[in-house]
Amino acid sequence: MFPKNTWYVACTPDEIDAKPLGRTICNEPIVFFRGEQGKVAAVEDFCPHRGAPLSLGFVRDGQLVCGYHGLEMGCDGKCSSMPGQRVRGFPSIRAYPVVERYGFIWVWTGDAELADPADIPVLHWAESDEWAYGGGLYHVGCDYRLMIDNLMDLTHETYVHASSIGQPEIEEAAPETTVDGTEVITSRHMENISAPPFWQAALRGNNLADDVPVDRWQICRFTPPSHVMIEVGVAHAGRGGYDAPAEYKASSIVVDFITPETDTSIWYFWGMARNFNPGDQALTDRIREGQGQIFAEDLEMLEAQQRNLLAYPERRLLKLNIDGGGVQARRIIDRLLDAERQASADIAS
């Protein structure tokens, strides 16, 4: 259903600062915590003593302590001690490769020997003072591929987000989809149109007039396993659109990390990175609030869509030209899944 030999965003650092965090990733219950010297660790959320979730415990001296009987686990999944008991001979539980980078905790749920931190995508905006970022997390009851479909075809904005970022010109502008290796890019450009409410506010946030015609762009970039970065923005019409000088536009990157929880649920890490007025925290907060409301509108639709698909599994869905980005993304995912299955079969034989 989902590739495992890859890096997924599991949580944000603040989620594990106070206590361990239990979170299911790719159908695997995992507990995340800070071990010795504050280094992040991830192990099975299963105490080998009586099967209690280790996420209900606490951290002491860099060891994860089970909240049921006090069994202590190391970051490597080995039992280290237990009051009045000899437990060092206990079998280890699984430890997962985990990396803290760019303001996220990344986990690898596949073959640990294949985990290379260099494969974590580079997020240039996360390390630059010239960019500001604000985001959040939603739990959504849908197949992760439905969210990818949603983000690679923004035609739905006209209907689902009519009061914020939607406008008829979106569906009137034909999208263009290309594939570059394992990256899928769907682009849409609109010229000499009115800015919708969200982008009017963004123009004001960049000290630009918001009541003049604009050129607007949406460039959606999918990379495996389920990351979608969307370059979005508006520029005063006739100034070059996407390539307009900074003093005439408001542009951002919509950040979407989609992490499968189960076959029909996801952890959706969303946000927006912008490179105008990065020091204005109040602007960051307003954009985050507005974006959070926009994404909340998607949730109702996606969860209802998932319920319909489960109720009518025999129904075949239609594909239109606007679905090109999602279709190509699914083909890449399918190739990755086939490669993993073949590798497992080769090992078994």
Q: For the chain, what is the radius of gyration of the CA atoms?
A: 22
Residue whose entry in the numeric block shows the structure tokens 């080998």: 48
112 and 97 Cβ atoms separated by less than 8 Å: yes
Buried-state track 107-146, b at ≥16 Cβ within 10 A, e below 16: bbbbeeeebeeeebeebebeeeeebbbbbeebebebbbbb
pLDDT for residue 90 is more than 80: no
pLDDT for residue 347 is more than 70: yes
Phi first, then psi: give them for residue 36, nearest 5 degrees. -60, 135
Number of C-beta neighbours around residue 54 at 10 A: 26
Taking the domain 129-337, which CATH number applies? Answer: 3.90.380.10
pLDDT for residue 41 is more than 70: yes
Whole-number Cα distances in Å, 212 to 192, 205, 215, 277, 300: 9, 15, 10, 21, 33
pLDDT for residue 84 is more than 70: no
Alpha helical stretches, state H, 49-167: 144-152, 157-160
Confidence of residue 87 (pLDDT cuts 50, 70, 90): low
Confidence of residue 317 (pLDDT cuts 50, 70, 90): confident
pLDDT tens digits for range 188-202: 999 999 999 999 999
Higher pLDDT, residue 321 or 72: 72
SS3 content of the chain, % helix, strand, coil (to 5): 35, 35, 35
Instruction: For residue 206, give the DSSP letter.
Output: T
pLDDT for residue 83 is more than 70: no
pLDDT tens digits for range 266-304: 999 999 999 989 999 999 999 999 889 888 889 999 999
DSSP string, 15-81: GGSSS-EEEEETTEEEEEEE-GGG-EEEEES--TTT---GGGSEEETTEEEPTTT--EE-TTS-EEE
Alpha helical stretches, state H, the chain: 144-152, 157-160, 168-172, 197-205, 281-311, 324-348
How much of the chain exceeds pLDDT 70, in percent?
97
Confidence of residue 345 (pLDDT cuts 50, 70, 90): confident
Predicted pLDDT of residue 158: 73
pLDDT for residue 308 is more than 90: yes
Pairing state between β 7-11 and 21-25:
unpaired
Average pLDDT rounded to a whole number, residues 182-187: 96
Predicted pLDDT of residue 348: 72
Higher pLDDT, residue 320 or 106: 106
Confidence of residue 91 (pLDDT cuts 50, 70, 90): confident
Domain ranges in the chain? 7-119, 129-337
Show the tokens assigned to 326: 């999602």
Q: Would the pTM of this model clear 0.85, i.e. be above it?
A: yes
- Please give the Cα distance from 263 to 145 (Å, whole number): 10
The H or E element spanning position 274 is strand 265-274
Would you state the CATH architecture of domain 7-119?
Answer: 3-layer Sandwich (2.102)
pLDDT tens digits for range 53-65: 999 999 999 999 9
